[in-house]
Amino acid sequence: MRIYDYVIVGGGTAGSVLASRLSENPSASVLLIEAGPADGPEAMHDPARWLDLQGSGIDWSFETVPQPGSGGSRIAYPRGKVLGGSSAINAMVHLRGHHSSYDAWAAAGAAGWGYTDLLPFLMRSETTAGRDPEVRGTSGPMRLIQLEPGPDATLMRDIREATHAAGFPLTDDPNGRQQEGAGWLDMTIHDGRRQSAADAYLEPNLARRNLTLLSDALVTRLDITEGRCRGVHYVRHGEPGYVAAESEVVLAAGAIGSPQLLMVSGVGPARQLRPLDIDVVADLPGVGANLQDHPMTSVLFQASEAALPTVRGGYAAMVALLHSGAGSGGPDIQLAAQNIRYTSSALDAPADAYTISVSVVTPDSRGSVRLAASDLTVPPLIDPGYLTEERDVRRILAGVEIARTIGADSSLKRWNDGELFPGAARDPRSLADYVRRSLQTFYHPVGTCRIGVDAGAVVDVELRVRGVAGLRVADASVMPSIVSANTNAAVLAIAERAAELIG
């Protein structure tokens, strides 16, 4: 039997950080198990081709259960299945979100997880140039580029100015001291290539003698005996296998994979597990609950002749974290200006369009991940519950109005021949219909194994699974509530802090 000090399940964003940091101690043996392959197709490395990866061999290709918020349709739910995980197929945006997102965690009982607690870990993960070194990292593994467009990219510059003209602040660095306002994105791109967490953290360290990678190995069950997690069962190329953990097993299988693996192993809501004939090891009702994600819709503009040369590429340039006016607390909507048509395939939108997408980044709606079967190879039931809370509907509609106001600014007249979508829809009912028809996600599931001290919490403030020794969770699933930004940067910081707690 093979025995390691630490067995890390899932080589995605968090797993890559954990494996790299824990193996810095030469006397600790570390095994990283990943369901997908060690590398993916060339498109994985080419930033402009990120959309080609959806539905590919390195995507779990999940879908949601029918969503009332999208008129009852199912929404595609890609997750990375390759070393690097979702950071290997994502849109490469690197944003922390507003500091109030993290302070909400601490206020909800996650002591030690507020913004000032996490700032050293956010900084430790990144290398930036020309940013404020008091709040931005200068020597971390993830090397970032700033996506400030060149002087010829006046469409994006004019959208940013129009956002300001509409009464919203500008920021020089949305990851810096002022996170609210319109600014330019940081991206996880280096030398023109995607930089996944595996590229940044693992690849340089894979030669370490105390770090072992087992790719193409699907973990099917945790071995929990007498209240302690002792190892994991997996299947690799059709053959069953087992590895033992001397010190502990760390789950980093993501916001879908981690709760699914816990539940098939008997850790979860007893009322859901017993009907599936799963022996309950720990009755934790919070496992799989509290799923949160960012619902998104788009305002599309017909590109004018003048704009056509810039309507290409593949990722957003300008981002704005704003108050919609329909919520309380921190900024609650994110606008992203993109020089491409970026919308639901349910809309018949022409290719020569550009987009301002609108996302609710502090949703009140909550969903769940539940088992469809006791067998891990059966995809779970993913229900993000988009727009099930009325306040989120108000927020997204307010965001659409803001995007339309910005898009109609006189400075943008030369760039577009009018608004395509929502277009003629003006009254609240038609706009709500439009939002349902065009609803998408930014693919940011979190919260399904949340940190806390109450009965619904899954892990304690040191990320230990309640009621099971030798087992932690450290990935997007532990967020008590979603951060008001794309989630990868926060997951890097969670894993950095987890490594410090564990090592």
Q: Which residues bind ligand FAD (CB under 6 A)?
A: 9-15, 33-36, 78-81, 85-87, 89-93, 218-219, 252-255, 257, 261, 376, 443-444, 475-476, 486-489, 491
| DSSP bridge partners of 370 | 381
Longest Cα separation, the chain = 70
Which residue in 98, 99, 294, 444 is the catalytic one? 444
Q: Which is nearer to ligand FAD, 18 or 400 (CB)?
A: 18
d(CA 83, CA 213): 10
Query: What whole-number distance in Å separates Cα of residue 371 and Cα of residue 503?
Result: 32
Q: How far is the CB of 156 from ligand FAD (least distance, A)?
A: 17
Min dist. Cβ of residue 89 to ligand FAD (A): 5
Distance of alpha carbon 286 from alpha carbon 366, whole angstroms = 12
Residue whose C-alpha is closest to residue 147's, from 163, 128, 164: 128
Identify which of residues 124 and 444 has a Cβ nearer to ligand FAD in the complex: 444
| Cβ 33 vs Cβ 79: under 8 Å | no
- Token pair belonging to 433: 């219909």
**Shortest separation between residue 263's beta carbon and ligand FAD, angstroms:** 12
Nearer to ligand FAD, 79 or 395 (CB): 79
Quote the tokens at residue 179: 């996170």
Give catalytic status of residue 294 as yes or no: no
Tokens read off for 41: 């197709």
Do residues 222 and 249 make contact, with C-beta atoms less than 8 angstroms apart? Answer: yes
Place of tokens 């370490």: 208
For residues 11 and 83, is the Cβ–Cβ distance under 8 A?
A: yes
Min dist. Cβ of residue 459 to ligand FAD (A): 13
Fill in the DSSP letter of residue 192.
T
Residue from 27, 91, 126 nearest 493 by CA: 126
Q: Could you tell me the smallest distance in angstroms from the CB atom of residue 419 to ligand FAD?
A: 25
Supply the residues annotated as catalytic. Answer: 444
